[in-house]
Amino acid sequence: MNIKKRKIFYWSPSLVDIATNMSVINSAYSLNKYSNKYCTYIINFFGEFNRFNKKLRDKKLTFLNYYHENLYKKFPSEGKIKSRFSFILIFLMSFFPLKRLLKKEVPDYLIIHLITSLPLVLLIFFKFKTKFILRISGYPRMNFFRKILWRLALRKIYLVTCPTQNTFKYLISLNLVDKSKIKILYDPIINLKEINKKKRESIKIKNYFLSVGRLTKQKNFIFLCKAFKEIIKEYSDIKLLIAGNGEQENKIKKFIEENNLTKSIFLLGYIENIYPYFKNSNGFILTSLWEDPGFVLIEAAFCRTPILSCNAWPGPVELIKNNFNGITFKNNDMESFLREFKKFYNYKNKNFLLLNNLKASKKFSLFSHYKSLVNLL
């Protein structure tokens, strides 16, 4: 007897490479891997999944490609004003193509990750047989437009999911949607088999601390570089490696060069396989102004890497408990960072931290995500 498979579309458009896109791939893959009841499709509107072509083929995931290279490459992706302009263009150019796609293909579910306002506006003005699932992370700024949009759209939404308890409580406090529709769904960050294989790769560099993320204001790498300028006065032999690229790359490079830190701080750019860098580091450092949940924190935890993290909301403050599975410092506070770094550097019982970290990371595995997601569908 043939079972009719349910169709699930993923919407996660962006003009830059962000961790959310890998989470989308892992979510779709988990449904395909652990069940034969679903057909998953990832919508590629702006080339956000282009660099994952091989991974998508290997995982036998279906790509719905609406990408026009000559056009979208001209969209500015950096700077607040320029990126807002691009957002408006994206909204206008994608509105009717997405509507036509949903009307023609009639997926059972549309899981919405980024540029959420576009599908929500569609939901307000048109009728669809598709059930819309909105994924929210962080604390969205509730301006007048967003409040009106959410109040109208969330009446018709099937579910709202979020990746942390703190975001869950925040969404309930807004009172914009029936709280029974708000669910915690942990992101599928940890592919156990894949990471265990990749982290075996050898690297030559030794005696370093690691930080990973896009080189943006949110990640607060200038703060980290300023801190290391002070740290190497006492610990002159250690290094800081920063992996990632982004709009603040030149600014960070300039700071490193002007402060004679070129032998202590190294910008690695984007690293395809970051896991051996986690595994071999003295520790992972997170200085972000906010994260939800903080993908690199969870990857570091699974790789049994000691963690020094800011207590940023909503993710890190929930995930990393001081002296239990990491050492924490007050967010964006230099005095607190330098004090806690010294404690972190000399911490005697790191195996205790690592064991608790490994346990905490398991709830972000693909299988855990799959079990939770199918219970919601």
353 and 208 part of one domain: yes
Same domain, yes or no: 351 and 370: no
If asked whether residues 293 and 345 sit together in one domain, one would say yes
Q: Residue 77 falls within a domain, yes or no?
A: yes
Here the CATH number for the domain that contains residue 291 is 3.40.50.2000
Whole-Å CA distances, 261 to 220, 288, 320: 17, 21, 30
Number of domains, the chain: 2
Per-residue pLDDT in tens (0 to 9) along the chain, 377 residues? 566 899 999 999 887 778 899 999 999 999 999 999 999 999 988 778 888 888 888 888 998 987 665 555 555 555 556 666 667 777 777 889 899 999 999 999 999 998 899 999 999 999 999 999 999 988 888 888 888 999 999 999 999 999 999 999 999 999 999 999 999 999 999 999 999 999 999 898 999 999 999 999 999 999 999 999 999 999 999 999 999 999 999 999 999 999 999 999 999 999 999 999 999 999 999 999 999 889 999 999 999 999 999 999 988 999 999 988 899 999 999 999 999 999 999 987 777 777 787 888 889 999 999 999 999 99
CB-based burial, 75-85: b 16+ in 10 Å, e otherwise: bebeeeeeeee
Q: Which residues contact 360 (CB under 8 A, 6 or more apart)?
A: 301, 319, 325
DSSP 222: H
278: left (phi over 0), alpha (psi -120 to 50) or beta: alpha
Give me the domain span that covers residue 75.
6-191+364-376
Residues in the chain: 377
Q: Looking at the chain, list the stretches that DSSP marks H as alpha helix, in order from N- to C-terminal side.
A: 19-34, 53-58, 69-72, 80-105, 117-125, 144-153, 165-174, 192-198, 221-231, 249-258, 275-280, 295-302, 316-319, 334-345, 350-361, 366-376
Question: Both 16 and 68 in a single domain?
Answer: yes
Same domain, 119 and 158: yes
Chain-centroid distance of CA 292 in Å reads: 7
Name residue 94's amino acid: S
In terms of Cβ atoms closer than 10 Å to its own Cβ (0-12, 13-18, 19+), residue 245 is middle
Check whether residue 106 and residue 248 sit in a common domain.
no
> In this structure, are 90 and 202 located in the same domain?
no
| Amino acid in the structure at residue 262 | T
Same domain for 224 and 92, yes or no, is: no
Same structural domain, 128 and 268: no
Does 1 fall in a domain? Answer: no
Task: Give the span between the Cα atoms of 288 and 83, in whole angstroms.
Answer: 21
- Assigned token pair, 123: 């939901």
